Structure 1
Amino acid sequence: MREQLTRRLPYRKDSEYLITAIGALPGAFCLDSGLTRYPQGRFDILTALPSATVNVNRNTSDGTTRLYKRHYGESDWQALTGTDWRQLVEELLAAHQPAAADIEALAGLPFCGGLLGALAYSADQTTISGWRADHDDPLAQALLELPETHIGLYEWAVIVDHEKQQTTLFFLSRCPSAIRDRIEQCLSDLEQSISRPQFSLLHAFTAASSHLDYQQAFTRLNHWIQAGDCYQANLAMGFQAGFRGEPLGAYLRLRQTSQSPFSGFVRTETASILSLSPERFLSVNDRQVTTQPIKGTRRRHPNAADDESARLALRDSDKDQAENLMIVDLMRNDLGKVCVTGSVKTPELFAVHSFTHVHHLISTVTGELPAGISPLALLQHCFPGGSITGAPKIRAMQIISELEQRPRSFYCGSLFYLDHNGNFDSSICIRTLVCADDMVYCWGGGGVVADSDCDTEYQECHDKVTALMHSLEARGAD
């Protein structure tokens, strides 16, 4: 049995050939970090064809949510009573618990089968009014109609270990034979040359709001900050363009230039999520919790001296350190309400991490998850991340929902996995695009505090997504 459980595939440093094949399948979920030199970029987790899928959709007229479930091979979604997606997927995970022999054989892998999911920024927002459908903006309406929660149960995966330079395919013993046969056929085609899917924009990206719109929103936000409603709020703006072709082609192009450690491509029934995120949200390993909020950004420069100057300016910036500290305090507070009393620590504060296009100021907060508390309960409690909301979180989110003209969808949401061994990791979906119908959307944002400058913050919104947009605009069809 174990000899059939796993199989080695040829290792390549660039997993594009695997992502191209697996990402084309229904329900594809590709967590991708192989092109980065970042320490966390050890594994790629690639899968598709979930044995079961759970979605949460929101009614755009009254804000209520509804749970839906579908098993592999079924064409229709089953509407469920209740709204607790966490209970549903945890029951699903328990019901599909593999045999002990399977777990033992896969113990060395970061993922041995289980849940992979995507949460939109507005998921679980019961105290926030959120965005309502603006019938004068069909693009906002289209985003509101996408699922807020999308989670699949996967009983097979390809794991690429870039440290050991090994690629492992596994099927759990109970994986349906129809899924197994389809994957075997898909992977047998890897012997042939697979070309990157075509993707091209129909026009350049345009902003959803003008400079004047941003100035007006910034002014209103500044008034709330001065009045003491919040200390910081993340103000974002959206961009969009029409496209033709396959979103997977866009993701494969973007990952070559972005090289971000928490990248991911997700194919849902109605949208594709293209995340080039550098930011870990929460991870749990052996009950040890880690979160790594990002707050503070400088654009990188081709000239080495200019680039080092930008890095040092970020490192020594009192303003950026103050913003980062606000979010560290927020995350310490969030973890402190769930983790073992006294276990929350900050082992790294204000560390500068350099990525392909920007330098970021990143801190690390850790804690210990008590026995009996699931990683998904931790995720729900801390979601969405403080680095993309503000402080205090609830009031900042209320202000964001009033100021931003278009819903964030999966931008500032999270991609995550939870396997049968309790291994859990998640990202915050910054540097993230959403493709739905024939439109591609992206967003850029920044934390606004009392002494923020409007034009500087406006430029930061553009800087964070300019490289993504230019990469898609410059090359036309593949």
Structure 2
Amino acid sequence: MVRRIEHRPAAEELRGDNIFDGVCDFDATLYHSLCADVGQDTVKDWQDRKWDHPEGLCDIIPLAWVEEDRKDGQDKERILMAIKHQRKPFWGLQYHPESVCTQETGNRVIRNWFKQALRWKYENRVTNSLVTNEILAMKAFKPSLLWQVAAFESTRELGRHTWELLLQDSDEKLQHKSTSIDVPPTTGIEVPDIVETLGSTGTSHVILDSANGNQQRSKTGVDVRGRFSIIALEVDECVRIESHTGDSFVSIVSPGQPSYKVSFQPGENVWHLLAAFHACKRSSLETGGGSVPHERDLPFLGGFVGYVTYEQGLTDTGIALGQERAHRRPDVCLAWATKSIVVDHEEGVLHVQDLEGDTRWIASVIAKLEGSNLWQHGSRTDPKKGGRLPPALDTQIRKPEQAKYEAKVRMCQEYIAAGDSYELCLTDQTHITRTVTAEKKGHRMEQPARSSQRPGQSSQKSDPRTDTSWDLYRMLRKRNPAPFASYIRLGGATLVSSSPERFLRYDRSGLCSMKPMKGTVRKSSEPADGCATSLEEAEEILHVPKEEAENLMIVDLVRHDMHGVCGAGQVWVPELLKVEEYQTVYQMITVVEGQLPKPDKWNPHGSYSGLDVLSASLPPGSMTGAPKKRSCEILQQIEGDKERSLYSGVVGYMCISGRGDWSVTIRSMFRWDDEQQKGDNDGEERETWHIGAGGAVTILSTPEGEREEMFVKLARPLSIFGQTS
């Protein structure tokens, strides 16, 4: 993966155009599956002739080689790394100069190449005007979503009325109000306890839960705990924006009003509408008076909360879905939450807040909490027990077949060997169908709710008072507490997640951070194959070429995604190939950061926000492979065009202030209301849950190893149903 590049010394025949001039030998990243055969393995006096023209290729001048021992112990493998055409201004590199693991010394190669390109242009009298150069500089930045919205406005005809109606509704003056109270110490109060105490009266919920926030800090010194949890309240009363991939419109669902559609201009999509809506709301907050807390103290004031599916990301990447979709489920489903609670686990403080400034409502919520048994006597949930799922009359589990999964791994490696991809993140799904009775469905979380059924939703909507999903969530967060856990019932979907992986975080200043995870080893208290008993042992297992290659390929992909919005020189990597300890596994992570550009002479393309990076980076690179688009196309074929749906998508929020935080939907389970069916007998229902799992396949993978990794990741969520992988 990372190899020493030996390059040609300065030579007379190159006439001063050696792009390696002044460059010492350096380490560089190699991803390639294929390499050039120019007869190098048949050259006997190699050291004397390796810089000569290859036989029969008199115009090709070798510039660099990599030599390493072969696996069979016979001689050395000779891989051509760089060439030049003797008579034309053509150079070629086999290694990746842009990779984060290519040493900075190699940057001079690119500078030398650019000098030679300019020299050739000057000698051949190819000139450009300054105006043209300015235009090229401007094109280095992708236009912001808001700039594109303004461009669409001048030609908007279709849907102008509904578009203006939506933005008019967004233009009311907002005034954020918040009151903070201390969470009683030593009471063991967790986020689910708070939700149950408030007794929400709706059928929709969004809970973004730092489930490991109250745990002790790891002894390894790496703090992987989440600090804040967000509970959106009265979600049924929120405006909801839903988009189904392939439609030329979005649906706006408003409480107590008929839903309506907003049509797109050609080239427009849901991200443009979200950007315009958010910008109007943000402007309303900034002009509405009242102070806006610093995001270090209160990251979420109100704003969008919800999910985006994997299929939405495919469409954003320019990939057509492989088959006709037999449903109307949303691929983007975001509620505009104005009432919420933010729990600061680090400070032991709870913030009750309302974007519309309803202080009476805030006081009533605080009174309900402070007067509750929970606040007076603490949580009655035994922290040592993981809970129990109410028994089902019948449970059927359909897991991936081991032989078929291994065959898919081999198919991935065939594509990689052919040079179509460097890495393919193969996944599969397990389906759990449970038959339950109404009186045994689950824990009583809420009071009866009025019907809010809308067209396209199943009439079999489960009563949230007795919904098994809440028991599933309590059990999963107890057994696998994670910094990006979530419980969501929104737009006909129910998601129960214990994700450890942040996808994208951004603040009001435009600083963006992504944290891809690749490389996993299971924790164990006793020595066992494929397990680690300590962080040191996990580092030994994970710091090997295969695992590091998996991570590095995704890191370079993420850097590419972020560069497309932030621009050159605005992306960096503060943490590379670092192993972190979580509740049940050790993970290898990398942190990539970038700064959004400011409008100026060279970038007149409007104001950027984290939404620009989010829309440009889906689906998450850690769930696709590299390069992204071609890898996604290959995975569609290998996975049989099966939808991943919520799995491999993202969940999170975009605060009205401009801040946002999104996680990758993994280590999770989900269901759709339209899949629920009546049972064979009265009072019985069948619910179907889906659990996705997989891993990154590279040329160094083994089918058996990838199959084992997939089942390891499946094990924790599947164990909730009393099953092992």
TM-score, normalising length: structure 2? 0.59
User: CA distance change for structure 1 residues 176 and 239 in 2, over 3 Å: closer, same or farther?
Assistant: farther
Query: What does residue 206 of structure 1 align with?
Result: 398
1:273 alignment partner, SS class: strand
**Following the alignment from structure 1 to structure 2, what is the Cα–Cα distance between the partners of residues 147 and 188?**
38
Match of 1:357 among 571, 577, 584: 584
Which SS does the other structure have where 1:373 is aligned?
Answer: coil
Q: Is the 8 A contact 1:298 1:359 kept in 2?
A: yes
Which residue of the other structure, out of 511, 517, 533, is the alignment partner of 1:307? 533
* Cα deviation, residue 194, structure 1: 9.2
Aligned with 1:104: secondary structure? coil
Residue 343 (structure 2) pairs with residue 160 (structure 1): yes
Tell me what 1:137 maps to.
none
**In the aligned structure 1, how far is the partner of 2:362 from the partner of 2:356?**
10
Which amino acid in structure 1 is aligned with residue 270 of structure 2?
Answer: W
Structure 1 position 28, deviation (Å): 1.4
2:35 alignment partner in structure 1: none
Gaps (5+ residues) in structure 2? 1-173, 218-222, 382-386, 442-466, 599-606, 677-686
Pairing of 1:34-433 with structure 2 (within 5 A)? 34-36=211-213, 37=217, 38-50=223-235, 51-58=238-245, 63-64=246-247, 66-74=249-257, 76-82=258-264, 84-96=269-281, 97-98=284-285, 100-104=288-292, 108-126=297-315, 127-133=318-324, 145-173=328-356, 191=373, 199-200=390-391, 202-203=394-395, 205-207=397-399, 209-243=400-434, 244=436, 245=441, 246=467, 247-285=469-507, 286-303=509-526, 306-308=532-534, 310-371=537-598, 372-405=607-640, 406-433=642-669
* Structure 1 equivalent of residue 83 of structure 2: none
Using the TM superposition, give the Cα deviation of residue 199 of structure 1 relative to its aligned residue in structure 2, in angstroms: 4.9
**Aligned residue for 1:8?**
181
Q: Distance in 2 between the 1:4 and 1:349 partners?
A: 40
Instruction: Give the secondary structure class of the aligned counterpart of 1:203.
Output: strand
Q: Distance in 1 between matches of 2:256 and 2:177?
A: 24
The verdict on how the C-alpha distance between 1:103 and 1:84 changes in structure 2, with shifts beyond 3 A counting, is: farther
Establish whether residue 448 from structure 1 lines up as the match of residue 679 from structure 2. no
SS in 1 for 2:566: coil
Amino acid paired to 1:432: S
- Conservation of the 8 A alpha-carbon contact between 2:651 and 2:662: yes
Deviates most, 107-116 or 97-106 = 97-106
CA distance in 1, matches of 2:175, 2:431: 48
1:461 corresponds, among 703, 710, 713, to: 710
Q: Which of 1 and 2 has higher RCO (CA within 8 Å, sep 6+)? A: 1
Q: Give, in whole Å, the separation in 1 of the partners of 2:176 and 2:302.
A: 17
Cα deviation code 1:32-84 (max 9, x no counterpart)? 014244445100011133421011124xxxx546411111233x432221262
Relative distance call for 1:105 and 1:315 in structure 2 (3 A) is: closer
The answer on whether the counterparts of 1:5 and 1:173 sit within 8 Å (CA) in structure 2 is no
The answer to whether the 8 Å contact 2:652/2:662 transfers is yes
Q: Cα RMSD over matched residues?
A: 3.1
Change (3 A) 1:24 1:413: farther
Name the amino acid aligned to 1:14: E
What's the % identity of the aligned pairs?
25
Residue 204 (structure 2) aligns with: 27
Gaps of 5+ in 1: 135-140
Corresponding pairs, count: 460
Q: Distance in 2 between matches of 1:72 and 1:188?
A: 30
TM-score, structure 1 as length reference = 0.87
Instruction: Give the equivalent residue in structure 1 for 2:120.
Output: none
Structure showing the higher strand proportion among its residues: 1
Looking at structure 2, the residues matched to 189 and 294 of structure 1 have their Cα atoms a distance apart, in angstroms, of 43
Q: 1:180 to 1:444 in 2, by over 3 A?
A: same
Aligned residue for 1:338, secondary structure, equals: helix
Equivalent-residue separation in structure 1 for 2:496 and 2:199 (angstroms): 15
**Cα distance between partner residues in 2 of 1:314 and 1:204:** 36
Q: Is the Cα contact below 8 Å between 2:181 and 2:350 reproduced in 1? A: yes
- The residue identity in structure 2 corresponding to 1:57 is H
